[in-house]
Structure 1
Amino acid sequence: MPLPPRETRPSAEDLHRWAAHDARPFTESLTLADAGHGVPAWSDKLHEARTAAEFQAVTSAVLGDGHSALGELHLFLEAAADWCERHQEPRIADRYRRHAQELSELGDQLAYVGEDHLAGIYRRTNRPAAVRAASAPAVVPAASASPVRRSSR
Structure 2
Amino acid sequence: MPHHAKARPFTLDELRAYLAEVFPQVWARGDYAIEAVGPMSATVRLVYHPDHLRPGGTISGPAMFTLSDLALYVAILHEIGRVKLAVTTSLTINFLRKPEPRDLIARVRLMKLGKRLAVGEVALTSEGSDEMVAHATGTYSIPAKGDAEG
Q: If the length of structure 1 is used for normalisation, what is the TM-score?
A: 0.27
- Bigger strand fraction: 2
For normalisation by structure 2, the TM-score amounts to 0.28
Bigger relative contact order (CA 8 A; separation at least 6): 2
